[in-house]
Amino acid sequence: MRQAAARLALLAAALLLAGFGEDFPVPHEPNQIFYVQRSLNSNTIVFAARLRPAGGLDAKSPVDVYWRRYNDEGERKELSGIERSLAFGVKADPVAGQPGSFMVRVVSYPDRPALLRMAGGAPRLEMKVAGEPSRLDHAYLEVDDSGSVPHVRQVHLFGYSLATGKPVSESFTP
């Protein structure tokens, strides 16, 4: 167990030192639950919770996904239909027995679901990162755009352990 924790700490340090998106602005959007940055440029995909006026997550559409166009003037831009249906759109399904909670799947990675729920009055996206139950914070995608269609070579996930609050990270090839 101690060796696994040490390896995880080394991996986290290596990823942070590698400088994934270190020059990119970090979004701080209302009700932000997660964001994705890509090696191509600083434009960022923001995932934000939609809340009801009376509080709690919007049951009809709990997640709003859009671009923050830092390469331009930092304006908000909606995803295109193709981006929404093939890459960054989400499907959110209510979780049985957990009122107000949703299982969220990004359409391009449906095998990595995350739980969206309210915690301490704020929306939070939870999933396992490096095998540890975590609050997901962001992802960095290494993208190869040398062909006619860009493809993701590597995914780096970053979050915070629900048990300890310490940073956790994981990398994988999709």
Contact 84, 106 (CB under 8 A): no
Alpha-helix runs per DSSP H in the chain: 2-18, 81-86
Phi, psi (degrees; rounded to nearest 5) at 124: -145, 140
Residue type, 26: V
| Confidence (pLDDT) at 22 | 66
Phi, psi (degrees; rounded to nearest 5) at 131: 80, 0
Q: How many domains does the chain have?
A: 1
Inside any domain, residue 6: yes
| Confidence (pLDDT) at 8 | 43
Inside any domain, residue 90: yes
Domain encompassing residue 123:
2-20+31-172
| Confidence (pLDDT) at 21 | 63
* Cα–Cα distance for residue pair 161/9, rounded to 1 Å: 12
| Confidence (pLDDT) at 147 | 87
Per-residue pLDDT of the chain (174 residues; tens, 9 = 90+): 455 444 444 444 444 434 466 689 999 999 999 999 999 999 999 999 999 998 899 999 999 999 999 988 899 999 999 999 999 999 999 999 999 999 999 999 999 999 999 999 999 999 999 999 999 999 999 999 998 888 999 999 999 999 999 999 999 998
Inside any domain, residue 26: no
Inside any domain, residue 52: yes
Return all residues near 151 (Cβ < 8 A) that are at least 6 apart: 143, 144
What does pTM read for this prediction?
A: 0.86
Inside any domain, residue 25: no
For the residues of 152-174, what is the DSSP string, one character each? EEEEEEEEEETTT--EEEEEE--
CA-nearest of 36, 18, 24 to 136 is: 36
| Confidence (pLDDT) at 149 | 85
